[in-house]
Structure 1
Amino acid sequence: MSRFESAQPLAGNTRYSDYLARTTLRAWVGMSFVSATLIILAGLLLSWLIPYLAGGADSIVPHFYYVPILFAAARFGPGAALVVALVAGVLAGPLTYVDVAAATAQETERWLTRTAFFVGIGQLMAWLVIPALHPVTEELRRMRQEFDIRRGLKHNEFFLRYQPIYSIRQHRFVGVEALIRWQHPAHGELTPADFLDVAEDSSLIHDIGAQVIAEACRQTEEWKTLAQVHGREPWYTAINLSARDFIRPELAYDVASALKRHHLPPELLTIELTETVLALEDAEPALEALKHLGVQLAIDDFGTGYSSLAYLNRFPIDTLKLDRQLVSSLGHDPSAEDLARGIALLAGSLGLKTVAEGIETRDQIGLSEELGFDRIQGFYFARPLTADEIPSLLLIEEVDPDHPPTPSGARA
Structure 2
Amino acid sequence: MSRFESVQPLAANIRYSDYLARTTLRAWVGMSFLSATLIIVAGLLISWLMPYLAGGADSIVPHFYYVPILFAAARFGPGAALIVALVAGVLAGPLTYVDVAAATAQETERWLTRTAFFVGIGQLMAWLVIPALHPVTEELRRMRQEFDIRRGLKHNEFFLRYQPIYSLRQRRFVGVEALIRWQHPAHGELAPADFLDVAEDSSLIHDIGELVIAEGCRQAEEWATLAREQGRGPWYTAINLSARDLVRPELAYDVASALNRHHLPPELLTIELTESVLALEDAEPALEALKHLGVHLAIDDFGTGYSSLAYLNRFPIDTLKLDRQLVSRLGHDPSAEDLARGIVLLASSLGLKMVAEGIETLEQVERGQELGFDLIQGFYFARPLTADQIPSLLMIDNVDPDHPPTPEATRA
Provide the rounded CA distance (Å) in 2 between the counterparts of 1:402 and 1:276: 35
Q: Show the counterpart of 2:293.
A: 293
Q: Show the counterpart of 1:132.
A: 132
Provide the rounded CA distance (Å) in 2 between the counterparts of 1:109 and 1:361: 74
Q: For the Cα contact (< 8 Å) 2:223–2:234, is it kept in 1?
A: yes
| Residues 1:71 and 2:59 aligned together | no
- The secondary structure found in structure 2 opposite 1:202 is coil
Note the C-alpha offset of 1:407.
Answer: 3.2
In structure 2, give the amino acid aligned to 1:44.
L
In structure 2, give the amino acid aligned to 1:237.
T
Provide the rounded CA distance (Å) in 2 between the counterparts of 1:370 and 1:95: 83
Q: Give the RMSD, CA atoms, in angstroms.
A: 1.1
TM-score by length of 1: 0.98
Q: Show the counterpart of 1:346.
A: 346
- The secondary structure found in structure 2 opposite 1:103 is coil
Q: Show the counterpart of 1:109.
A: 109
Alignment of 1:11-410 (within 5 A): 11-407=11-407, 409-410=409-410
Aligned length: 412
Provide the rounded CA distance (Å) in 1 between the counterparts of 2:292 and 2:165: 25
Q: For the Cα contact (< 8 Å) 1:390–1:407, is it kept in 2?
A: no
Change (3 A) 1:410 1:56: same
Provide the rounded CA distance (Å) in 2 between the counterparts of 1:226 and 1:138: 47
- The secondary structure found in structure 2 opposite 1:249 is coil
TM-score by length of 2: 0.98
In structure 2, give the amino acid aligned to 1:363.
E
Provide the rounded CA distance (Å) in 1 between the counterparts of 2:338 and 2:72: 60
Q: Which one is further off, 144-153 or 106-115?
A: 106-115
- The secondary structure found in structure 1 opposite 2:180 is strand
Q: For the Cα contact (< 8 Å) 2:172–2:394, is it kept in 1?
A: no
Cα deviations by residue, 1:360-390 (Å, 9 ceiling, x for unpaired): 1112112111111111111111111111110
Note the C-alpha offset of 1:51.
Answer: 0.8
Note the C-alpha offset of 1:408.
Answer: 5.8
Note the C-alpha offset of 1:306.
Answer: 4.5
Provide the rounded CA distance (Å) in 1 between the counterparts of 2:306 and 2:13: 48
Q: Show the counterpart of 2:10.
A: 10
Q: For the Cα contact (< 8 Å) 1:389–1:408, is it kept in 2?
A: no
Provide the rounded CA distance (Å) in 2 between the counterparts of 1:145 and 1:67: 31
Q: For the Cα contact (< 8 Å) 2:382–2:411, is it kept in 1?
A: no
State the identity as a percent: 89
Note the C-alpha offset of 1:204.
Answer: 0.2
Provide the rounded CA distance (Å) in 2 between the counterparts of 1:308 and 1:186: 43
- The secondary structure found in structure 1 opposite 2:313 is coil
Note the C-alpha offset of 1:80.
Answer: 0.7
In structure 1, give the amino acid aligned to 2:87.
V
Note the C-alpha offset of 1:6.
Answer: 2.2
Provide the rounded CA distance (Å) in 2 between the counterparts of 1:289 and 1:171: 33
